[in-house]
Structures are given as structure tokens and as C-alpha cells.
Amino acid sequence: GEQYNWIVIYAPPSNTCDNLMNGGASTQYIGTIYTPGANWSITGGDRSPLAGQVICYTATVTGAGSVGIDFNPNYSPAPPAARLIN
């Protein structure tokens, strides 16, 4: 499905749950994971499972090959545009 302003997973800062993202060779999450109070464990196979960014309390990234988080500013939330009001 479509993301809202490139946010793919959201949780309020009061949510301190532990989360696990496990991706294989063809898995991709594109956008921002915004869970500032949560802990993440991100694992993967021979390709990075995430293109974007993770905003969280702690993150552990493990796996084989080139697993990681590839930041791309094109997949980041954009601030609202300024508007001129008469």
C-alpha cells in the first residue's frame, strides 16, 4: 500500500515496544519508520531490507552480505510548503 508522506511505520513516543524486521533477498521497506521510544532489531539476507530511515530509541542491525539501512532523502517526509495568504 501507499505510505503517508513516506511514513511506513509509526508509533507514538510513549510506545516502548521491541520490534523485529527480518528481510530476505527480495524484501524492501521504503520510507521512514518513526518509533522514537521503541527498540528495533533489523536483520537481513544478502540485500538491504530498508531504504529510508529509522527513528527509534535503539537499533541493532545484523545479517549477511550488505544488510543495512540505505538513507535516501527522496524517501523522507517533506515539511509542508509555505503558503502566501492575503
Q: How far is CA 40 from CA 21, 32, 78, 80, in A?
A: 8, 13, 24, 28
Residue 47 resides in a domain:
yes
Residue 41 resides in a domain:
yes
Domain range for 27: 7-75
- The DSSP secondary-structure symbol of 65 reads T
Give yes or no for a contact between 50 and 71, defined as CB atoms under 8 angstroms apart.
Answer: no
Number of H helices, E strands in the chain: 0, 5
Residue 86 resides in a domain:
no
Residue 81 resides in a domain:
no
Residue 45 resides in a domain:
yes
Our count of domains for the chain comes to 1
What pLDDT is stored for residue 62 in this prediction? Answer: 83
Residue 2 resides in a domain:
no
Residue found under cell 524517501: 75
* Banded model confidence at residue 2, pLDDT cuts 50, 70, 90: low
Tell me: the pLDDT tens digits for 12-64? Answer: 999 999 999 887 767 778 888 999 999 999 887 766 667 788 899 999 888 77
More confident residue, 2 or 19: 19
Residue 62 resides in a domain:
yes
pLDDT tops 60 at residue 81: yes
- The phi-psi region of residue 75 (left if phi > 0; otherwise alpha if psi is between -120 and 50; otherwise beta) is alpha
Q: What is the pTM of this model?
A: 0.75
